[in-house]
Structure 1
Amino acid sequence: MSVSDTRPVWFITGCSTGFGREFALQCLERGLRVVATARRLSNLDGLDAPSERLLKIELDVTDPSAITDAIARTREAFGRIDVLVNNAGYGYLTSAEEGEEAEIRAMFDANVFGLFAMTRAVLPLMRAQRSGTVVNISSIAGLVARAASSYYGASKYAVEGFTSGLHAEVAHLGIRAMAVEPGPFRTDWAGRSLRTTEVGIEDYRQSVGARLSGTAEISGRQQGDPVRAVTAIIEAASSDNPPLHLVLGAYAVDATRERWMQSIKELDTWEAVGRATDFPD
């Protein structure tokens, strides 16, 4: 480890494909130091740079001992972590009624509890540094959950709540937290990475079934460009004042604005009822 090397260190989970892979590539192109992780080391083939700039680690974020080892190896190699990108995770779509317990729990282990564990492991370094940024890759489903996304959306709503709470706890320590809410992007999310339980109940074919069919049809043709998305995230995370929420893609921006406007309208409609529940003065 060179103590004189001041290039920021980015620790990125889920670098096999999609956003994670693009994060590693762009960070290396920018001259940053990168810790690239994946569940299988062979999935990191093709990521090449001198050892003083790239550390490749086999990491399953649902394995606490593997997280501890990865952080220890990073400290030994680079001495610090400036940006943690919690990218590892995947989607599971089905109806709420037909959700399979094992599938739901496995997804939450990766999307939620793995993200929590990674953040807990990195925070001591960032506190000691009095600096750092935690970037949590959420989803538009964490702001606007649609049919078939009840469980996936719930996992991302958990990420949203965690990020907001984390921001309130660590901002005074020089640590920033940012949640990223991408809409449909041209990655493997809707393809081979997506897990589903098909609709078996006729009553859900119009809502959940239609969403599953639409998701399959759009796979590989989504409007969002992963390269531009990752560039935007890196620039936002590297700025002096990163946003708490970074909504990416025209679909996600429009859907978020529409939902927030609906929420304001609903709040206004029911405001008197809500205020009347306090003890009288």
Structure 2
Amino acid sequence: MTATTWIITGTASGLGRSLANAALANGHNVVAALRNPDRMAGLAAAHPGRLLPVDYDVTDTAAAPGLVQTALDRFGRVDVLVNNAGRAVVGAVEEVGDRQLRDLMDLHLFGPAALARAVLPAMRAQGSGTIVQMSSQGGRTSFPGVSAYSASKFALEGWSESLAGEVAPFGIRVMIVEPSRFRTGFHSALEFTDTADAYGALAPIRSDMADVAGRQEGDPDRAARIITDLVATDDLPLRLPLGAEAVQRLYAAYQRDLDGVVRLADLARSADFEGVAPSVRPV
């Protein structure tokens, strides 16, 4: 396998750490972007010259070009960008404030967008590259208590789908990964809002989100191997549901939405002017 260079954010633990391990195991170079590079010291010692830990805050969008340039200076190219860093806020819409919502948008949308913009010129120049966006099953379907998290992941997915069409002519690919629950530190680091009396009914959801830590069915190492294997193929999907629960819940969500379109199709069509030709779009 030809060695490539990966930039991966959020490598301190969880899926990010597993992805770094998998890429290194396959002989690739990894630029690990995280707030505390010392946490990668052991892995760096095990892979001398191929792992470069970098102090990086995803929400500092002005730092994105510098991270990409660091990778180019060290390894000469960037083949894969994985926007992985993430966290979640659990609470009803009325309980989540502007700061919490904006913080998640900074982390899950504006940060990844800045890194993608920074890396695209190099990928276009070399005529190849892959951008992996770590979303969630919550980036395609949502439920009470996770509005802020889902909003930021929905935004990332819409942005990424447009990106995929724009960069395909340059040989650059985009894959949106939609995991279910994986056994990482994600659920141990959840931020919970103060509970308003009106939303006491969300208590079971809060408990479920908090108590699942350590019991998640998803194996992050297996997930990382699936992602790295797919990146190495010529048949990269735009979306990758990851985990049995993701398959089940996303299938149900798509079916529900499709049923809704079919049920309302005639009513929806009646909103158009009569006798006007259907729209013709370039895509």
Q: Distance in 2 between matches of 1:269 and 1:198?
A: 39
Quote how far apart the aligned CAs of 1:50 are.
4.7
1:115 is matched with 112
2:214 is matched with 220
**SS at 1:37's partner residue?**
strand
Quote how far apart the aligned CAs of 1:201 are.
2.5
Which one-letter code corresponds to 1:168 in the other structure? G
Q: Distance in 2 between matches of 1:162 and 1:58?
A: 26
Q: Distance in 1 between matches of 2:249 and 2:194?
A: 26
Q: Give the direction of change, closer, same or farther, for the CA distance of 1:60–1:195 in structure 2 (3 Å limit).
A: same
**SS at 1:180's partner residue?**
strand
Map 1:80-159 onto structure 2 (within 5 A): 80-159=77-156
Quote how far apart the aligned CAs of 1:145 are.
0.7
2:200 is matched with 205
Q: Distance in 1 between matches of 2:47 and 2:245?
A: 39
| Percent identity of equivalent pairs | 40
Which one-letter code corresponds to 2:117 in the other structure? R
Q: Distance in 2 between matches of 1:201 and 1:80?
A: 54
1:262 is matched with 256
Quote how far apart the aligned CAs of 1:51 are.
4.7
Map 1:1-281 onto structure 2 (within 5 A): 7-48=3-44, 49-191=46-188, 193-202=189-198, 204-206=199-201, 208-281=202-275
Q: Distance in 2 between matches of 1:44 and 1:67?
A: 20
Q: Distance in 2 between matches of 1:68 and 1:39?
A: 17
Aligned residues, how many?
274
Q: Distance in 2 between matches of 1:106 and 1:195?
A: 12
Q: Comparing 216-225 with 45-54, which one deviates more in the overlay?
A: 45-54
Moved over 4 A (4+): none
Q: Distance in 2 between matches of 1:198 and 1:251?
A: 29
Q: Comparing 60-69 with 91-100, which one deviates more in the overlay?
A: 60-69
Which one-letter code corresponds to 1:237 in the other structure? V
1:3 is matched with none
Q: Residue 38 of structure 1 contacts residue 44 of structure 1 at CA under 8 Å; is this kept in 2?
A: no
Structure-2-length-normalised TM-score? 0.93
Q: Residue 59 of structure 2 contacts residue 107 of structure 2 at CA under 8 Å; is this kept in 1?
A: yes
Quote how far apart the aligned CAs of 1:66 are.
2.5
**SS at 1:220's partner residue?**
coil
Quote how far apart the aligned CAs of 1:154 are.
0.5
Quote how far apart the aligned CAs of 1:209 are.
2.1
Q: Comparing 256-265 with 58-67, which one deviates more in the overlay?
A: 58-67
The CA RMSD measured in Å over matched residues stands at 1.4
Q: Residue 60 of structure 1 contacts residue 67 of structure 1 at CA under 8 Å; is this kept in 2?
A: no
Structure-1-length-normalised TM-score? 0.94
Quote how far apart the aligned CAs of 1:144 are.
1.2
Q: Comparing 50-59 with 146-155, which one deviates more in the overlay?
A: 50-59
Deviation by residue 1:163-183 (Cα, 9 ceiling, x = unmatched): 110111011110000100000
Q: Distance in 1 between matches of 2:259 and 2:249?
A: 15
Q: Distance in 1 between matches of 2:39 and 2:162?
A: 33
Quote how far apart the aligned CAs of 1:260 are.
0.6
Q: Residue 190 of structure 2 contacts residue 210 of structure 2 at CA under 8 Å; is this kept in 1?
A: no
Which one-letter code corresponds to 1:214 in the other structure? D
Q: Residue 90 of structure 2 contacts residue 193 of structure 2 at CA under 8 Å; is this kept in 1?
A: yes
Q: Residue 65 of structure 2 contacts residue 119 of structure 2 at CA under 8 Å; is this kept in 1?
A: no
**SS at 2:42's partner residue?**
coil
**SS at 1:34's partner residue?**
strand
